Amino acid sequence: MSDSQNFPFTAIVGQEAMKQALLYNIIIPPIGGVLIRGEKGTAKSTAVRALASLLPERKSVKGCPFRCNFDDPDNFCSLCTERVSSGEELIPDMVRMRVVELPLSATEDRVSGTLDIEHAIRTGKRKFQPGILAEANGNILYVDEVNLLEDHLVDLLLDAAAMGVNYVEREGISFSHPARFLLVGTMNPEEGDLRPQLLDRFGLVVDVTGEGDMQLRKEIIRKRLGFEHNPKEFISSYNDSEKKLRECVVSAKSLADQIPIDDRILDIIVAITLRLGVDGHRADLTFIRAALASAALAGRTSISREDISRAAELSLPHRMYRRPFEEQHNDMKQVESWIMELYQDVS
């Protein structure tokens, strides 16, 4: 997707939680993606597409249809592995990460790719036609109205995102390739929800609403009209702020690896997930990764209480236990009070 005519990310008014969730995933991709829920006209799609201009470059294998990570030979596709085995010296190619969109009309073959069975029978060699998952490798895969996507396709996407590999098998012939991507979904809850099992697979979930402040709503209208009147001039006016945020994201990616995770922080996070009765350990891992990303984005070298609070808001609400016909068993005010209590106890 070209970002030349996308609304600038730094021009988006409000929706701080949504912007933070997207940036956190760029800084620490293992967070596991983000689902953005909200009514129409709340800048969901605008924010995702605007993200393209902030994405960093990455080193891929030149000539590889799956753009394998040059620095990760253990996870090369079979084609790159064969090239290395034959003695070929692979050449690095710096490419920009980008946003790849998955249309709702996509079929399973279009998503996962197809094997040419006739060619295999005729020649004895596999021939694979890459799909959207191949295109998404190393990039962001964006699914608008993900709640309207067929459940088996959502399962396919989430499985590939979790394993980092797309595996295709037809008539006893198989092929696999790396599929390491950041999954971003947007949806309008009024049009139906995701099954709880699928909802839990998204690392972060953000609920967005229209701005209620009169001045902010006026600012949104002004900026949108300015963009529509002269996109090139409007985008140009945000070049400096976009560059500054891009540099901040690159710096945060490096800083995140240096921030220590001590027992003090782990005690707080594990205590909260235990009090909530959250099943499994996905919530704990997402929680700590989001807190790390928050600290790194702010340029901090340690995780603060503020980072823990921000991470909790994004990683826990969709995983809280809910009884039938009841509201969430624990709201975020309760979680915040626990964070304050636990942070003081371990300080």
Contact status, residue 223 vs residue 11, Cβ threshold 8 Å = yes
Residues linked to residue 101 through DSSP beta bridges, in sequence order = 142
Look at residues 338, 332, 327 and name the one whose alpha carbon lies nearest to residue 314: 332
Q: How far apart are the first and last CA of the chain?
A: 47
Question: How far is it, in rounded angstroms, from Cα 246 to Cα 233?
Answer: 20
Residue 282 bears catalytic tag? yes
Strand partners, 173: 170
Q: How far apart are CA 93 and CA 114, in angstroms?
A: 26
Give yes or no for a contact between 332 and 313, defined as CB atoms under 8 angstroms apart: yes
Alpha-carbon distance of 75 to 187, in angstroms, equals 32
- Quote the tokens at residue 135: 């295109």
The CA distances from residue 40 to 36, 45, 84, 190, 212, in Å, are 11, 10, 49, 10, 15
- Active-site residue, selected from the candidate residues 282, 300, 310, 319: 282
DSSP 178-229: E---EEEEEE-GGG----HHHHTTSSEEEEE-----HHHHHHHHHHHHHHHH
DSSP secondary structure string for all residues of 131-150:
-HHHHHTTSEEEEETGGGS-
Tokens of 184: 């971003």
Contact 257, 301 (CB under 8 A): no
Active-site positions?
Answer: 282
